[in-house]
Structure 1
Amino acid sequence: MTDTPIRSASTLIILRNFASRPQVLMGQRGSKAAFMPNKFVFPGGAVDTADSAIRLAQPLTDRCHANLQQDSTGPAPETLAVAAIRELWEETGLMLGALEAWPDAPEDWADFAKAGFRPSAANMYFFFRAITPPGAPRRFDARFFLVNADQLSGDLDDFSNASDELSHLQWVCLDEVRSLNLPFITSVVLGELVGMTEIGAPNSVPFFKNQDEESLFLRLQGL
């Protein structure tokens, strides 16, 4: 039906003020973007080959690791986590890492290491997965990770080191976020956040498995 390749991608859902009035970090894609132009999305993007060479300071939970491996022949769970952290840093300038010397950091991570950090998946939870339906100009097998903004380093309102890939970076209250121009799948992910009582590893992970032959809604439960 389609020859569009499916690339692996990683996304981070960052929640702030979870115990009072939760906010989520969103940014708007450009009007000329080939994929989801003008839409407000979470920070994220495609996995790069080099992501597999980066060692995490702290690993994913066993449950998240197992859920990421279920029904997957793509990148290793650690690579997917690194990609999400890298995309967050590139698109927002915010760092998710642990204090650790990193003298041999690759050039692309030099500023991250200079700040004294190495990427860390501690308190970072696999939350959702979706494959872009057939017919889209680009298709991704996207894994969404959830993290409390308390785990980030630096000023949460300072996006001065962000790239220009996302504009209008902002913290949006969960009860107001649906007023934005959102992709369908982003709205579905936001719906999963409603009623959540804590930020942690879910027992099972929703998976929209859109294939050429059929579309399925599954729940990944690797443990």
Structure 2
Amino acid sequence: MDIRPAATLVLTKDTAEGPKILLLQRTWDAVFMPGYFVFPGGSVDDQEKNGRAHTIGQADTEISQTMAMDEGGADYMLAAVRECFEEAGILLAVDEKGAALTQDHPIHSDREALFKGELTLAELCHRYNLTIPLDRLGYLGHWVTPPGPPRRFDTRFFIAVAPEGQRASHDGNETIDHVWLSPAEALEDHRSGRRLLGLPTIGTLRILAEFGTTEALMRYVHANPPEPYPNKPWPAVKKDRTTMLEPGAPAYDEAVKLDPEGAGSTHADIVPGKPVEVAAGVIRLTAPNPGMMTGPGTNTYVLGHKRFTVLDPGPDDATHIERILELTGGAIDQVVVTHTHQDHSPATVALKARTGCRVYGQPAPEGPAQDQTFSPDVEPVNGDLIVTEAGTLKALYTPGHASNHLCYLLLEQELLFS
């Protein structure tokens, strides 16, 4: 499946209640994310490059460098501006005197023609002697749709302050509603089920929620462009042969992290019994219990250097238990459990008997899938801290997969064990 280049423009404005952002609701007939509330945006067209002649501010070379591209960064910005005008009725442009456009500017009568492809943004700029101030856009983020959905996009996110003299209006075709909300309001609407939001939208709103004014927000965005997103295949080993992982593949991020030089030294699949150091002082050891619910097997994590913490010791499997003891030399001070399904916690009993370790986790609820042998010494609650040689684990109460489920965040390395 081809991954389409796309661009999104986040419009923000100051209000008495703080900054608000514009969200549009996609039509329920859309193939991709029907009914979701999104920022204005869409695919980058071949004609975008014609608009470069009508821009002011940074040149394409400088923009592309910021976006970690060889060239064409300005085309993403122009696509974001065009899509915003088509979908939301707001055009980020200035007239021959450098003034922002107002609602009574005649270009608004050509909005539908632009939407239908009868006119291009470059032609409209030429007709009305307009320029697009690309320096007013900040580069906010880069998201690539993971494998699975019917369409995939390689999307650059931009942000700009909405011109005061124009009113937002959804197009009635691709978008059926619009709303100005504070980032906190939008996130709460999503949590309560009032609005559908996609992961890129949620991630962007969380960034925006940190700022009290558009000035502070734009200053931050201009000074802190996002890290480059890996966009090329990466080598890894699969069944003793080198294979190339595409961005978005399950093993891609790990291969890039563990093998930044692209030497092909990591594995494309998880091999039970083979320890993999995924971070400093953090080893993943996969149990030999493959299945529909466990994939290649349950992941056990061994944290430490000389004294060890074992996170999710796995099933009561003698081979796996001996492998844990071999890796740690039996120097296990703690066992930490996320939840008590039969594939995650039963090995705790054997490790406790062999090492005398302290056990952390929530007791098992009723049910045949639960490990009733699990007996914790400490029952962590949300926010509790557990010190390990690899860093401090913060307990996060996350019921759902199981009613007693905890995630653990390794604070110093920003690793989440989920």
User: Structure 1 residues 172 and 211 mapped into 2: Cα distance closer, same or farther (>3 Å)?
Assistant: same
Q: Is the 8 A contact 1:208 1:215 kept in 2?
A: no
Q: 2:248 aligns with which of 211, 218, 222?
A: 211
Q: 1:202 aligns with which of 223, 239, 252?
A: 223
Deviations 1:123-164 (A, max 9, x none): 111110010001111111100001111xx363234x27x352
Q: Is the 8 A contact 2:25 2:175 kept in 1?
A: yes
Q: 2:79 corresponds to which letter in structure 1?
A: A
Q: 2:65 corresponds to which letter in structure 1?
A: A
Q: d(CA) in 1 for partners of 2:2 and 2:166?
A: 38
Percent of counterpart pairs with the same letter? 26
Q: d(CA) in 2 for partners of 1:40 and 1:208?
A: 24
Q: Going by fraction, where is strand more abundant, 1 or 2?
A: 1
Q: CA deviation at 1:112?
A: 5.5
Q: CA deviation at 1:29?
A: 0.7
User: Structure 1 residues 207 and 26 mapped into 2: Cα distance closer, same or farther (>3 Å)?
Assistant: farther
User: What's the TM-score once normalised by structure 1's chain length?
Assistant: 0.79
1:5 pairs with 2:18: no
Q: Is the 8 A contact 2:56 2:131 kept in 1?
A: no
User: Structure 1 residues 144 and 19 mapped into 2: Cα distance closer, same or farther (>3 Å)?
Assistant: farther
Q: Is the 8 A contact 1:44 1:88 kept in 2?
A: yes
Q: Is the 8 A contact 2:30 2:174 kept in 1?
A: no
Q: d(CA) in 2 for partners of 1:169 and 1:23?
A: 13
Q: Is the 8 A contact 2:141 2:156 kept in 1?
A: yes
Q: d(CA) in 2 for partners of 1:113 and 1:154?
A: 22
In structure 1, the partner of 2:299 is none
User: Structure 1 residues 207 and 191 mapped into 2: Cα distance closer, same or farther (>3 Å)?
Assistant: farther
In structure 2, the partner of 1:221 is none
Q: 2:42 aligns with which of 42, 45, 67?
A: 45
Q: Is the 8 A contact 2:25 2:36 kept in 1?
A: yes
For the pair shown, which has the larger CA radius of gyration, 1 or 2?
2
Q: d(CA) in 1 for partners of 2:160 and 2:184?
A: 18
Q: d(CA) in 2 for partners of 1:60 and 1:5?
A: 30
1:190 pairs with 2:205: yes
Q: d(CA) in 2 for partners of 1:205 and 1:114?
A: 35
Q: d(CA) in 2 for partners of 1:115 and 1:13?
A: 25
Alignment of 1:40-189 (within 5 A): 40-55=37-52, 56-60=54-58, 64-68=63-67, 70=68, 72=69, 76-100=72-96, 107-109=119-121, 114=127, 116-149=129-162, 152=163, 154-157=165-168, 159=169, 162=171, 164-178=173-187, 179=189, 180-189=195-204
Deviations 1:78-135 (A, max 9, x none): 111110000001001111012139xxxx933355655552322121111100100011
Q: d(CA) in 1 for partners of 2:81 and 2:63?
A: 16
Matched residue count: 204
Q: Give the match's secondary structure for 2:184.
A: coil
Which one is further off, 19-28 or 42-51?
A: 19-28
**Cα RMSD over matched residues?**
2.9
Q: Give the match's secondary structure for 2:217.
A: coil
Q: d(CA) in 1 for partners of 2:90 and 2:32?
A: 23
Deviations 1:157-202 (A, max 9, x none): 4x27x35211211211222112021011210111111223331313
Q: Is the 8 A contact 2:11 2:21 kept in 1?
A: yes
